[in-house]
Chains A and B, each alone.
Chain A
Amino acid sequence: MSATPHTVGAPGGAPAPASAPRRVGVPDWVRGVRPGVALAGLVVAFFVVAMIVPSLLTNQDPYAVNLEQTLQSPSWAHIMGTDQSGRDLYARIIYGARESLLIGLGATALGMGVAILLGTLAGLGNKWVDGIISRGVEVMFAFPILLLALLFVAVFGPSVTTEIVAVGLGTAPGYARMVRGQVLSVRDSGYVEAARALGHPYGQIVRRHIFPNAMRPLVVVMTLGVGQSIVWASGIAFLGLGVPPPSPEWGALLNAGRNYVTQAWWLEVMPGVAIVLFSLSLTTLGRHLQQRLEGGVNR
Chain B
Amino acid sequence: MTTAPTPTKAGGLRPADPDNDLLRVENLRVGFGEKRDVTEIVHGVSFSLAPGECLAIVGESGSGKSVTARTLVGLTGGKSHVTADRLQFGDRDLRAFKDRDWRGLRGKDIGFILQDALVSLDQLRPVGKEIDEALRLHDWGSKAERHDRVLELMELVGIPEPAVRAKQRPDELSGGLRQRALIAAAIAMDPQLIIADEPTTALDMTVQAQVLEQLQEAKKRGKALILISHDLAVVSQLADTVAVMFNGDILEYAPAAQLFSHPEHPYTRRLIEAIPSADSRGRRLSPVDRRHSLGEARADETADAPVLKAERLFKSFRGPDGVDRTVVNDVSFELRQGETLGVVGESGSGKTTTARLALALLEVDGGGITLAGEEWSGLPERERRKRRADISVIYQDPLSSFDPRWTVEQIMLDALGEGYDKKIDRRARIAELLEMVGLEKEHLGRRPLQLSGGQRQRVAIARALGPQPRVIVCDEPVSALDVSIQAQVLDLLVDLQEELNVSYLFISHDLGVIHHISDRVLVMSDGKVVEFGDADDVLLRPHHPYTRKLVASLPVLERPEPTGPRPFGRPPRAAGPEYTEEMAA
Binding site for B on A (CB under 8 A): 5, 8, 10-15, 18, 189-191, 193-201, 208-209, 212-213, 216, 297-299
Contacts and interface: CB of A to CB of B under 8 A. Distances in A.
Contacts of A14: 61-62, 452
Given A10-B62, A14-B62, A195 B414 contact: yes
A208 B361 contact: no
A193 B401 contact: yes
Give the one of B387, B388, B414, B453 with max A CB within 10 A: B414
Contacts, number: 85
Interface string B19-41: 00000000000001100010101
B395 A190 contact: yes
Given A194-B395, A208-B414, A13 B386 contact: no
Given A11-B62, A14-B61, A199-B385, A213 B405 contact: yes
A43 to B, nearest CB: 31
B451 A15 contact: yes
B404 A190 contact: no
A191 B401 contact: yes
Contacts of A195: 414
Given A12-B61, A15-B450, A199 B414 contact: no
B393 A194 contact: yes
30 contacts: A8-B32, A8-B33, A10-B62, A12-B60, A12-B62, A14-B61, A15-B451, A15-B452, A191-B403, A193-B401, A194-B402, A195-B414, A197-B359, A197-B391, A197-B393, A198-B392, A198-B417, A198-B463, A199-B387, A199-B389, A199-B417, A199-B467, A200-B414, A201-B385, A208-B403, A208-B414, A213-B404, A216-B405, A298-B449, A299-B449
Given A15-B450, A299-B449, A198 B388 contact: yes
Contacts of B463: 194, 198
Given A8-B33, A196-B361, A189 B400 contact: yes
B26 to A, nearest CB: 23
A184 to B, nearest CB: 15
A198 B418 CA distance: 11
Interface in B374-408: 384-389, 391-393, 395, 397, 400-405
B415 interface: yes
B397 A297 contact: no
Q: Which 9 A-B pairs have the closest CB atoms?
A: A199-B388, A12-B62, A12-B61, A190-B400, A190-B401, A194-B401, A199-B385, A191-B403, A197-B393
B71 to A, nearest CB: 13
Contact of B388 (A10, A197, A298): A197
Give the one of A18, A189, A191 with max B CB within 10 A: A191
B67 A11 contact: yes
A14 B404 CA distance: 17
Interface residues of B, number: 41
Contacts of B391: 197
Contacts of A212: 405
A216 B67 CA distance: 36
A197 B393 CA distance: 7
Contacts of B37: 5
Give the one of A5, A8, A194, A196 with max B CB within 10 A: A194
A62 B250 CA distance: 76
Interface in B336-371: 359, 361
Given A190-B395, A193-B401, A199-B467, 11 more contacts: A191-B400, A191-B402, A194-B401, A199-B384, A199-B387, A199-B389, A200-B417, A201-B385, A209-B403, A212-B405, A298-B449
B411 to A, nearest CB: 9
A299 to B, nearest CB: 7
A259 B38 CA distance: 62
Nearest to B385: A199
Give the one of A5, A190, A208 with max B CB within 10 A: A190
A213 B361 contact: no
B114 to A, nearest CB: 15
A4 to B, nearest CB: 12
Contacts of A196: 361
B397 A190 contact: yes
B451 A198 contact: no
Nearest to B410: A208
Given A198-B414, A298-B449, A10 B401 contact: no
A31 B403 CA distance: 29
A272 to B, nearest CB: 41
A8 B33 CA distance: 9
Contacts of B41: 10-11
A137 B577 CA distance: 64
A192 B67 CA distance: 37
A201 to B, nearest CB: 7
A8 B39 contact: yes
Interface string B48-70: 00000000000011110011000
Contacts of A18: 446, 450
Contact of B467 (A198, A208, A299): A198
Contacts of B388: 197-199
Contacts of A198: 388, 392, 414-415, 417, 463, 467
Contacts of A197: 359, 361, 388, 391-393
A188 B415 CA distance: 19
Nearest to A195: B414
Give the one of A11, A189, A297 with max B CB within 10 A: A11
A18 B443 CA distance: 11
Interface string B433-463: 0000000000000100111110000000001
Nearest to A198: B415
A195 B395 CA distance: 12
B453 A13 contact: yes
